[in-house]
């Protein structure tokens, strides 16, 4: 069974002595039933001479087929340019038709009615979860229909008799290219997800789609893996000859901390402030370790040992007699426990005392006292709402300013953060979509 849902426009049922869109679709597709959607203006013509049903009845006689009609009257509908209203109403009508005739093929006339009516039906043809076929009908002149004042005085019977479409091959129907439109929507959706750094969601859409190349899917999957700090991301991009995104792997220590800092920056962009605060403690620890090694000549590996669980602890034998132990003993009441777990608090004390850079000492003080002690520990151990405003109120710094402290600490260690790395990757991914 075929059912046509059709708004009625000013060129229906016959215009310029040829089929309007309504009749031309029915002539070709021979629907069993037609729903005629009429606004106040159209309804006035319908009540005057029943022209729409009359012409459909005559067409049915010509085709040797009975065409059932049902009129949807909207006598109060005057504002016919509001898209949102039609989207909701047409969805309701189409769901009702499908519920009543679940096995029917539903055709949509997307050439009659106002632009808002047409575009609403086009959108619905893409989003409904049952079979719908939108059909466009070109005008006889392949352009806008001219105004023929003399036609307005013809009766429906005269119009029908003068209709040239009854005597010639007159097929102006084109099944609307919704597939191409749907593909464009899907592509734009993936672009938005990529620019929002939601690679997993973009990959979930793309992986089963035939629109995208295997290369793109592999790169998108690698981008999602990068957010999890998986090393295969770098390997996949290098495999495809894509450079300039990742740090040279020979600088492995820097590459690891860079990836982690970039992940922190994305958390700020996505306003995931609680996760941002919880993520900075590992970054602070690694940055302090790197700074002590690169700028102070203090390689923590020479003074520590990993226990059987892989936890880094100070080694009393290696620390014994060092100036660093003297500094730490002064810091802690009762002396420093030289076999304790290595925390950033001890590292910060070393930096404050032996760093050659005043800026580094200030950054350490800000990160430890303003950020970690003031707010980070609350975010890690209590259920509280973390907003940009709360971060500023509790620390005196914005999230971006805190990130700048981390980036500056990295710079003082001798490395420049490639802060545009993810955006460069996004450009590569989007270009690959085609």
* Reported pTM: 0.64
What are the tens digits of pLDDT across the range 274-303? 899 889 999 999 999 999 999 999 999 999
Residue 384 has pLDDT above 60, yes or no: yes
pLDDT on residue 380: 56
Distance between the two ends of the chain, CA-based, in angstroms?
39
276 burial class (0-12, 13-18, 19+ CB within 10 angstroms)?
A: buried
pLDDT on residue 143: 46
**Strand 2-7 to 33-38 pairing:** parallel
Cα separation values, 108 from 130, 136, 138, 173, Å: 13, 9, 15, 12
Residue 427 has pLDDT above 80, yes or no: yes
pLDDT, average across residues 352-362: 95
* Cα 71 to Cα 78: distance, rounded to the nearest angstrom: 17
- As given in the structure block, the two tokens for residue 75 are 């006598």
Least confident of 66-75, 119-128, 197-206: 119-128
- As given in the structure block, the two tokens for residue 55 are 């012409």
What are the tens digits of pLDDT across the range 4-57? 999 999 889 998 889 999 999 999 999 999 999 999 999 999 999 999 999 999
- SS3 of 241-301: the string is CCCCCCCCCCCHHHHHHHHHHHHHHHHHHCCCHHHHHHHHHHHHHHHHHHHHHHHHCCCHH
pLDDT tier at 173, thresholds 50, 70, 90: very high
Residue 373 has pLDDT above 90, yes or no: no
Sign of the alpha-carbon dihedral angle for 241, 244, 246, 251: positive
pLDDT, average across residues 108-115: 92
SS3 135: strand
Residue 144 has pLDDT above 60, yes or no: no
Close Cβ partners of 214 (under 8 Å, ≥ 6 residues apart): none
pLDDT on residue 186: 82
pLDDT on residue 334: 86
H-helix or E-strand spanning residue 138: none
pLDDT tier at 372, thresholds 50, 70, 90: confident
Angle (nearest 5°) at CA 323 between 319 and 326: 80
For the chain, residues classed under CATH 3.40.50 are 2-176
Q: How many helices (DSSP H) and strands (DSSP E) are in the chain? A: 20, 10
Angle (nearest 5°) at CA 141 between 136 and 146: 100
pLDDT tier at 382, thresholds 50, 70, 90: low
pLDDT on residue 94: 95
The reply to whether CATH 3.40.30 applies to domain 2-176 is: no
134 burial class (0-12, 13-18, 19+ CB within 10 angstroms)?
A: buried
pLDDT tier at 407, thresholds 50, 70, 90: very high
Residue 377 has pLDDT above 80, yes or no: no
Least confident of 169-178, 300-309, 338-347, 406-415: 169-178
Close Cβ partners of 63 (under 8 Å, ≥ 6 residues apart): 27, 30
pLDDT on residue 146: 47
pLDDT on residue 381: 57
- SS3 of 188-201: the string is HHHHHHHHCCCHHH
- As given in the structure block, the two tokens for residue 44 are 């006035």
Beta bridge partners of 28: none
Is-contact 133 105, C-beta < 8 A?
A: yes
Beta bridge partners of 35: 5, 70
pLDDT tier at 320, thresholds 50, 70, 90: very high
pLDDT on residue 361: 95
Express as a percent the part of the chain with pLDDT over 70: 92
Least confident of 38-42, 175-179, 303-307: 175-179
What are the tens digits of pLDDT across the range 209-250? 888 999 999 999 999 999 999 989 999 999 999 988 987 666
Average pLDDT, the chain: 89
Sign of the alpha-carbon dihedral angle for 117, 119, 121, 123: negative
- Residue with tokens 């008799």, as numbered in its chain: 161
Is-contact 225 232, C-beta < 8 A?
A: yes
Name the DSSP letter for residue 307.
Answer: -
Sign of the alpha-carbon dihedral angle for 327, 332, 338, 344: negative
pLDDT on residue 141: 66
Express as a percent the part of the chain with pLDDT over 90: 67
* Cα 362 to Cα 352: distance, rounded to the nearest angstrom: 8
pLDDT, average across residues 246-263: 84
* Cα 212 to Cα 241: distance, rounded to the nearest angstrom: 19
Name the DSSP letter for residue 176.
Answer: -
Least confident of 55-64, 135-144, 249-258, 361-370: 135-144
């Amino acid at each position: 069974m075929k059912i046509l849902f059709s708004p009625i426009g000013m060129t229906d049922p016959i215009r310029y002595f040829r089929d309007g869109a309504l009749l031309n679709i029915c002539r070709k597709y021979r629907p069993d039933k037609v729903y005629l959607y009429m606004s106040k203006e159209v309804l006035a013509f319908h009540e005057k001479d029943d022209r729409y049903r009359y012409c459909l009845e005559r067409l049915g006689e010509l085709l040797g087929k009975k065409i059932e009609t049902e009129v949807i009257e909207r006598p109060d509908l005057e504002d016919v340019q509001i898209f949102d209203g039609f989207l909701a109403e047409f969805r309701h009508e189409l769901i009702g038709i499908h519920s009543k005739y679940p096995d029917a093929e539903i055709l949509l006339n997307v050439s009659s009615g106002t632009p808002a009516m047409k575009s609403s039906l086009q959108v619905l043809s893409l989003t409904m979860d049952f079979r719908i076929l939108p059909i466009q009908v070109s005008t006889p002149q392949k352009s806008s229909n001219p105004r023929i004042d003399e036609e307005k005085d013809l009766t429906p019977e005269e119009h029908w008799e003068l209709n040239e479409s009854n005597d010639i091959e007159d097929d102006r129907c084109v099944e609307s290219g919704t597939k191409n439109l749907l593909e464009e929507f899907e592509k734009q959706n993936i672009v938005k997800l990529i620019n929002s750094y939601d690679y997993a969601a973009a990959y979930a859409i793309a992986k089963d789609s035939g629109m995208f190349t295997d290369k793109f899917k592999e790169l998108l999957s690698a981008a999602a893996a990068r957010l999890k700090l998986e090393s295969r991301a770098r390997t996949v991009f290098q495999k495809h000859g894509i450079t300039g995104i990742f740090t040279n792997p020979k600088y492995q220590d820097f590459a690891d901390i860079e990836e982690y800092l970039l992940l922190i920056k994305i958390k700020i962009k996505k306003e995931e402030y609680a996760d941002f605060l919880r993520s900075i403690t590992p970054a602070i620890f690694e940055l302090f370790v790197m700074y002590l090694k690169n700028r102070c000549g203090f390689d923590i590996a020479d003074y520590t040992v990993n226990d059987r669980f892989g936890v880094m602890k100070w080694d009393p034998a290696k620390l014994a007699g060092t100036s660093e132990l003297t500094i730490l003993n002064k810091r802690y009441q009762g002396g420093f426990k030289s076999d304790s777990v290595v925390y950033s608090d001890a590292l910060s004390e070393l930096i404050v005392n032996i760093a050659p850079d005043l800026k580094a000492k200030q950054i350490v003080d800000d990160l430890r006292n303003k950020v970690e002690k003031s707010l980070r520990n609350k975010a890690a151990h209590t259920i509280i709402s973390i907003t940009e405003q709360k971060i500023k109120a509790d620390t005196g710094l914005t999230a971006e300013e805190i990130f700048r402290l981390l980036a500056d600490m990295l710079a003082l260690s001798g490395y420049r953060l490639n802060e545009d790395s993810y955006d460069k990757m996004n450009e590569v991914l989007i270009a690959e979509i085609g």
